[in-house]
Chain A
């Protein structure tokens, strides 16, 4: 009967030995699996929901179709498929034999491995083995002959000239993996060949490869003895190789065979589209437990992340797709994953013994900051690794530690303070609509079908404002009803979240959701910004109800298709389209912009990297706020070359505001200025429908508006004038009346004009008798002051207003309205606060109390101080203090100090708004404290004296010692103030703030009164050079050359 002998000429000792080795191999493999499972079980829970069963079927589909392996590398896919199937079938074959030999026969006396089944078995196993060998040989050829760059581990992007030891280990891993497979396959066939040569059964051709080999051996004259010798030895080689491979599976590259089942099954359908909220600690019981910050050590990775790391096959597809890697930034997603995996394994083997810091030693901060969160890596990963969420988790830690670049920090501050990344006034957010011919609805005041969420770039960037207006006109022309949130809109937060500033993201989300909730009725949201689109669509729902959102490309496609916009003349342009990462790859809208292009009659030629392989412009993930190093090729420039290589292009079409900014710039810097233009899709649509010829004005409404505006203006002016005139005439009349009626009264002081507490003209040159009247401390209502535990540092902080560019002075009132200011913490106070924190940290004792004088809004400033580490806050306010002078402010602060009895008082050297540079020194005098001003450094051990370094003119410094307690006014530059994340700011809500209502003083001791507030005269101002940077550079060059000629 057709079958074969399993243990030919194997002695019973050999038999036993074989089973011992096999058992050991299985045990090693099982231990490896158990070890991994144990690690996953101990790791943190996944911050995103995992649906393994839903994912399971997709995984089965992906594995058996090898869909993900074929993508963007068909040959590797074609080679991998027979390897995988070959391996699986051979594994199955071996298992079948084991089942018969070890189970069914000994226990049930039942055999099946014979006859037709055996013949089919032999044929399939032979073909599987053949496939395996062919696949492996191709892979070897590819790896060592073709040498695709994505398989090289030397980090040329980091300037490495030598392969690092870890990477050499990876090379060994790859090499052994391939050779092991080849060895198993080849020895298997060899075994079959000699067996068939010896036995020559009639069914030999059912094992075609073995049969051919047998014929060859026989043809070469192999005799029985030689064949038997080979058969005996090779049996062991083959067997041990196969068993060793089994043992090695969980420990080597082969582990992906198992890990991939998990990583593909647990793929997060929303990965990167929706980043995880910070997880609660594993042990959290209380509801108000503080969530984790981010990943600061490998122990903070979730089991899903660890599984991802283990699944990596080093295939290099992410390395190839990453825009950061491509532009020479210090990041390769592949290397990131491999470094993390190596570190994770080391830490798991020797917990505690591995002192390497995750961020810094293993992964450098600059690597993390290089990510554009474009999703290209995870999108192409055949085993479902989700790199960007891990990167963001580590960035969260960096943000928490304040370890970020200055510009990013400033931008985040700006967003926190003003709600936009441009540092512009929130009030001018809707400013771009002013130049439209028609009014744009304010959804806060009247309902509209669509709420247009504009986003920062489309609101504030001049080039994008043009596009926004075009889109508005298109909507208008199509009769689409829309409105804006105007200044109630803030940055949507997509990129803020990807930078890792989760707290700020949450507060932006909260703000925008509230603004939407408070707005009048609207049915849907539209936006031109794919970043806002992504976060509002995928992330906002985690925080509250939100209307469905559409990207304007879908809206335009629909308007054109339904005929609400009609193409007048097809454009006939040859264009290419850049798929924005957040629109295409992340949200799958590849076709809508293409449909629009088709409808307006453009010939679309796609770039080689399009759709899911679109190449990021480089702006994502907050990178637009971090400058790229000068000199290196930026991703956007790389993209421009790609577009130019298409040839004869008219237009490079974008449909994302950031893309417009990035590519407009890159087109110039990459030298393709003459090759094509960069335009927004909307601009092409406008051209195609001849938007210019349409009359969009709503004449009656406009007339109404003009009349209304004119009427208000006239009424305002007339009212003022009238009041003035009335006052003058009445006063004149009254005075002359008085004069005639009672001549003696005429010399009495005139009624003070309403505008100013103006001093009165006096006959004598002195203002009363000379007297010194020392300023005194305010008597404030007592508030609860905890008992002192260690030294107490009192820091005065102030929120300072910065004037908007379009501010106006109300000269009559001598004031500037609040709306012209943006507020932030005074930078000198920030330095003082930092100094205070450093002092207590160094002493490891005591508390920092921050005090501010300001209205309720100013509490945010105080909270910022608390977030940075101050222990308590005190806020004093009374309306009478609104325009208080430094002496009055000092008196109020003295009132606080007398309740606090601090050991050191710190203030800023001056405030950035009014720049008196006086409050601190006046306060010191009122409190009778020793003091120094413009201080750069303080050394104090808590004892009776401190050493103070104060700054003099010209960079000279003066060191002196002062008795404690003392007051110091702090200069910037002596320290680097720490960053307070929004999370820390929120946490600071738990810290106490005592609110003191009342000033405790009048303005009687005020040093001065403001007589007049005005803009400085414009005479003598610079002659302004008009034009763009190019023109200005020319003019400046002329001045320089001219000057040089003189010198």
Chain B
């Protein structure tokens, strides 16, 4: 056997978007690499998840029952390796997410496979996959090849590939792995939800976000004031929340909140790291201000300017006064 294996990601009984997106990416290269295209679901209520993953292009859905259903990298690694070996797959796709980062590289090390992470472009050249990823905050792109590797593990960037819309008719194949005695497995304790907050980035239509360029919490009132004046919700990038200058609820991005209803996004002094873009690159109108003309944020913004954000804030303040 051969083919592609996609490891489904889900939380709380719901398939994560990145799973469908990986299916989309895989269908693009399926012809070049050869099928079948299988989705692996490890979890509690695998049937419900399987039907969500049953999209156009999927040939098979392999299911493994995991009694407690909480993600554990050791169990995922064990399961994925077992399935990959049994099916002798050529390509394993995993989401580049908090979970994927935990077991993807471990699977690669265990299989001695080809490996690349945070991949945002996938193509085939002479029946071999070429992965595209970036470095240096997105300023440099690179194409990677995996010579002599019988199997390749890639973790794919979310919100990048297009998921198929039509439903598929995959067959469901339960697979048995003993997940009870996996060495190194942890014990689930609890989930801690994000603390309640008085901002809802997910609902905001107009967001003014500040990045590390803020420099220090003392500068915050200037931007909070400006946001209020403009009628915008104040958002931020991770370092601003990490430093405790703004509560976590203001953070836009992968580990913060997705600006789901936003139609105007003003990014001030944010470089445009992939995890930040994950939360806002879909927005209709993005204005980015950054003193570095090479900042990757300009790759997703519609309008850009290279000026100092403090000067700009003062000028905007005057403009709206």
- B105–A886 touching, CB < 8 Å: yes
**Cα separation A971 to B275 with both chains bound (whole Å):** 13
Given the interface pairs A917-B117, A922-B109, A953-B97, the reply to whether A765 lies near B127 with Cβ below 8 Å is yes
Q: Does A12 contact B (CB under 8 A)?
A: no
B202's nearest neighbour on chain A, judged by CB, is: A954
Q: Most chain-B CB neighbours within 10 Å: which of A768, A921, A1016, A1044?
A: A921
- A1022–B241 touching, CB < 8 Å: no
In the assembled complex, which residues on chain B have CB atoms less than 8 Å from the CB atom of A926? 109
Q: Does A312 contact B (CB under 8 A)?
A: no
- B257–A955 touching, CB < 8 Å: yes
A1042's nearest neighbour on chain B, judged by CB, is: B285
**Cα separation A1024 to B303 with both chains bound (whole Å):** 6
Q: Does B161 contact A (CB under 8 A)?
A: no
Given the interface pairs A921-B73, A932-B102, A1007-B113, the reply to whether A1036 lies near B287 with Cβ below 8 Å is yes
- A921–B106 touching, CB < 8 Å: yes
Interchain CB contact (< 8 A) of B298 among A928, A972, A1022: A1022
Q: Does A284 contact B (CB under 8 A)?
A: no
Q: Does B142 contact A (CB under 8 A)?
A: yes
Q: Does B319 contact A (CB under 8 A)?
A: yes
Q: Does A934 contact B (CB under 8 A)?
A: yes
Query: What 0/1 pattern do residues 514 to 548 of A give for CB contact below 8 A with B?
Result: 00000000000000000000000000000000000
- B77–A925 touching, CB < 8 Å: yes
Q: Does B187 contact A (CB under 8 A)?
A: yes
B97's nearest neighbour on chain A, judged by CB, is: A953
Task: Mark out the residues of chain A between 911 and 932 whose CB falls within 8 Å of any chain B CB in the assembled complex.
Answer: 912-922, 924-926, 928-932
Task: Mark out the residues of chain B between 192 and 251 whose CB falls within 8 Å of any chain A CB in the assembled complex.
Answer: 192-194, 205-206, 215-219, 221-222, 230-231, 238-239, 241-244, 248-249, 251
Min CB–CB distance A905 → chain B (angstroms): 13
**Cα separation A141 to B203 with both chains bound (whole Å):** 67
Q: Does B15 contact A (CB under 8 A)?
A: no
- B218–A629 touching, CB < 8 Å: yes
**Cα separation A956 to B196 with both chains bound (whole Å):** 11
In the assembled complex, which residues on chain B have CB atoms less than 8 Å from the CB atom of A816? 140
**Cα separation A1043 to B264 with both chains bound (whole Å):** 8
**Cα separation A911 to B16 with both chains bound (whole Å):** 25
Q: Does A744 contact B (CB under 8 A)?
A: no
Q: Most chain-B CB neighbours within 10 Å: which of A801, A890, A1040?
A: A1040
Task: Mark out the residues of chain A between 766 and 820 whose CB falls within 8 Å of any chain B CB in the assembled complex.
Answer: 766-775, 801-803, 805, 807, 809, 816
In the assembled complex, which residues on chain A have CB atoms less than 8 Å from the CB atom of B219? 627, 630
- B242–A973 touching, CB < 8 Å: yes
Q: Does A851 contact B (CB under 8 A)?
A: no
Q: Does A695 contact B (CB under 8 A)?
A: no
Of B37-45, B57-65, B171-179, B310-318, which binds chain A? B310-318
Min CB–CB distance A275 → chain B (angstroms): 26
Min CB–CB distance A549 → chain B (angstroms): 32
Interchain CB contact (< 8 A) of A1040 among B185, B257, B264: B264
In the assembled complex, which residues on chain A have CB atoms less than 8 Å from the CB atom of B188? 958, 960
Of B22-30, B46-54, B144-152, which binds chain A? B144-152
Q: Does B134 contact A (CB under 8 A)?
A: yes
- B303–A770 touching, CB < 8 Å: no
**Cα separation A969 to B102 with both chains bound (whole Å):** 9
Q: Does B276 contact A (CB under 8 A)?
A: no
- A1025–B303 touching, CB < 8 Å: yes
Min CB–CB distance B2 → chain A (angstroms): 7
Q: Does B114 contact A (CB under 8 A)?
A: yes
- B101–A925 touching, CB < 8 Å: no
Q: Does A887 contact B (CB under 8 A)?
A: yes
In the assembled complex, which residues on chain B have CB atoms less than 8 Å from the CB atom of A805? 292-294
- B143–A963 touching, CB < 8 Å: no
In the assembled complex, which residues on chain B have CB atoms less than 8 Å from the CB atom of A934? 98, 101-102, 255
- B150–A770 touching, CB < 8 Å: yes
A759's nearest neighbour on chain B, judged by CB, is: B147
Of A50-58, A110-118, A314-322, A404-412, which binds chain B? A404-412
**Cα separation A1016 to B272 with both chains bound (whole Å):** 14
- A1010–B98 touching, CB < 8 Å: no
Interchain CB contact (< 8 A) of B192 among A773, A917, A959, A1044: A959
**Total chain B interface residues with beta-carbon distance under 8 A:** 131
- A407–B215 touching, CB < 8 Å: yes
- A1023–B216 touching, CB < 8 Å: no
Of A64-72, A186-194, A337-345, A1027-1035, which binds chain B? A1027-1035
Interchain CB contact (< 8 A) of B109 among A766, A890, A1009: A890
Q: Does B33 contact A (CB under 8 A)?
A: yes
Q: Does B304 contact A (CB under 8 A)?
A: yes
In the assembled complex, which residues on chain B have CB atoms less than 8 Å from the CB atom of A962? 186-187
In the assembled complex, which residues on chain B have CB atoms less than 8 Å from the CB atom of A103? none
In the assembled complex, which residues on chain B have CB atoms less than 8 Å from the CB atom of A1035? 303, 305
Given the interface pairs A887-B109, A890-B109, A1013-B142, the reply to whether A918 lies near B222 with Cβ below 8 Å is no
Given the interface pairs A405-B218, A955-B248, A1024-B305, the reply to whether A766 lies near B263 with Cβ below 8 Å is no
- A955–B194 touching, CB < 8 Å: yes
- A919–B105 touching, CB < 8 Å: yes
In the assembled complex, which residues on chain A have CB atoms less than 8 Å from the CB atom of B216? 405-407, 627
Task: Mark out the residues of chain A between 607 and 627 whose CB falls within 8 Å of any chain B CB in the assembled complex.
Answer: 627
In the assembled complex, which residues on chain A have CB atoms less than 8 Å from the CB atom of B304? 1021-1025
Min CB–CB distance A605 → chain B (angstroms): 31
Min CB–CB distance A560 → chain B (angstroms): 36
- B189–A947 touching, CB < 8 Å: yes
- B215–A1011 touching, CB < 8 Å: no
Q: Most chain-B CB neighbours within 10 Å: which of A765, A766, A910, A1022?
A: A1022
Min CB–CB distance A978 → chain B (angstroms): 14
Q: Does B67 contact A (CB under 8 A)?
A: no
**Cα separation A151 to B244 with both chains bound (whole Å):** 41
Interchain CB contact (< 8 A) of B102 among A762, A931, A1016: A931
Interchain CB contact (< 8 A) of B256 among A410, A775, A954, A1011: A954
Task: Mark out the residues of chain A between 290 and 310 whose CB falls within 8 Å of any chain B CB in the assembled complex.
Answer: none
Q: Does A909 contact B (CB under 8 A)?
A: yes
Query: What 0/1 pattern do residues 985 to 1020 of A give for CB contact below 8 A with B?
Result: 000000000000000000001011111111110001
Q: Does B116 contact A (CB under 8 A)?
A: yes
In the assembled complex, which residues on chain B have CB atoms less than 8 Å from the CB atom of A886? 105, 115, 117
Q: Does B137 contact A (CB under 8 A)?
A: yes
Q: Does B138 contact A (CB under 8 A)?
A: yes
Min CB–CB distance B304 → chain A (angstroms): 3
- B192–A957 touching, CB < 8 Å: yes
Q: Does A758 contact B (CB under 8 A)?
A: yes
In the assembled complex, which residues on chain A have CB atoms less than 8 Å from the CB atom of B112? 771-775, 1005
Min CB–CB distance A689 → chain B (angstroms): 34
Q: Does A393 contact B (CB under 8 A)?
A: no
In the assembled complex, which residues on chain A have CB atoms less than 8 Å from the CB atom of B293? 805
- B103–A921 touching, CB < 8 Å: yes
Given the interface pairs A757-B147, A913-B135, the reply to whether A1033 lies near B126 with Cβ below 8 Å is no
Q: Does A1 contact B (CB under 8 A)?
A: no
**Cα separation A1009 to B115 with both chains bound (whole Å):** 10
Given the interface pairs A887-B109, A918-B105, A1037-B316, the reply to whether A1021 lies near B298 with Cβ below 8 Å is yes
Interchain CB contact (< 8 A) of B105 among A921, A951, A954, A963: A921
Min CB–CB distance A956 → chain B (angstroms): 6
Min CB–CB distance A1043 → chain B (angstroms): 5
* Extra 7 A-B pairs, beta carbons < 8 Å, given A627-B218, A931-B73, A1039-B303: A627-B216, A630-B221, A955-B194, A956-B191, A958-B192, A962-B186, A1007-B113
12 A-B residue pairs with CB within 8 Å: A406-B217, A630-B222, A767-B147, A768-B148, A771-B150, A775-B112, A809-B140, A917-B117, A955-B251, A955-B257, A1008-B144, A1015-B140
The residues of A with any CB-CB pair to B shorter than 8 Å are 405-407, 410, 627, 629-630, 669, 757-762, 765-775, 801-803, 805, 807, 809, 816, 885-887, 890, 909-910, 912-922, 924-926, 928-934, 947-963, 969, 971-973, 976, 1005, 1007-1016, 1020-1026, 1028-1030, 1032-1037, 1039-1040, 1043-1044, 1047
Closest 8 CB pairs of A and B: A1007-B115, A955-B194, A773-B112, A1022-B304, A973-B242, A1033-B315, A759-B147, A933-B102
